[in-house]
Structures are given as structure tokens and as C-alpha cells.
Amino acid sequence: TMPSRTESFGIAYLEGWANRKPVLAAIAGAVPELVRENENGILVEFGAVAEIASGILHLLSSPATAEKLGDAGYALTTSCYTWPMVLKRVRTAYSRALGFELPEITYHD
């Protein structure tokens, strides 16, 4: 659960998903582009305490839903947000900005 008003991306969501946990997030910034309602998480209005509590209770009382959301988040994280994938996107962005191709970036686990 991270009902932040100012979260620009939400690495905490990726960390939760990497551990197959469901997430509950506030509708703010770019978060709704990452967290999809009832697909990979639960979205609530920022500051809506009753909605936050309801979302948490829903996840606790419905383990199958929590597992489904966590698994969907895990699939998203492992298909789009691994460090090698992020490094590739950063390299591409810098290459475009600089106007020339940068050398490959090597990532070591």
C-alpha cells in the first residue's frame, strides 16, 4: 500500500510485484499508467481513508484476488522493468539526445 499524492512512478510497486504481492495505489501522477485497476492492483483516490481500508480488507479477505493481482504485477515487472531492460531504454534515450549511438551497456547480476 502506497497511497502517495506525489509519486511520479512507483518503484515500490515494482518491488512488491517482484515478490508477487498485490498493490494498492493512489490515483496520482503516472501511477494509473502502471497500476491497472483490478488487473494488477487496486487504485483509490488520494486521501480516501475509507477506500484504502476497504481495498486492504478486500485483499485480505480474498486471497485468490490478491494472488491474481500479485501474479499480474510480477509478469509486468519481469517483462518490462528488469535492470537490463531499463539500461537499454536509458542508453537509447541518451543516444537520441546526443545524436550518436552509445556503446552497449553491460549489466552484471
What pTM, to 2 d.p., does this model score?
Answer: 0.81
The three-class DSSP label of residue 43 is: strand
Would 68 be classed as within a structural domain? yes
- DSSP class of residue 34 equals H
Determine the average pLDDT of the residues in 35-52.
95
Is 87 inside a domain boundary? no
pLDDT at 45: 93
For residue 103, being part of any structural domain is answered with no
Residue 97 in any domain: the answer is no
DSSP 49-109: HHHHHHHHHHHHH-HHHHHHHHHHHHHHHHHH-SHHHHHHHHHHHHHHHHTSPPPPPP---
Asked whether residue 100 is domain-assigned, the answer is no
Please check whether residue 43 lies inside any domain of the structure.
yes
* CATH number of the domain where residue 19 is located: 3.40.50.2000
| Residue 6 in domain | no
User: In the prediction, which pLDDT does 14 show?
Assistant: 95
Domain span at residue 60?
11-79
Convert the pLDDT of each residue in 48-107 to its tens digit.
999 999 999 999 999 999 999 999 999 999 999 998 898 899 999 999 999 999 988 776
pLDDT of residue 3: 67
Instruction: Outline where DSSP puts E strands in 14-60.
Output: 23-26, 41-44
Q: How many domains does the chain have?
A: 1
Give the DSSP H/E element, type plus range, for residue 31.
helix 31-34
Is there a domain that residue 94 lies in? no
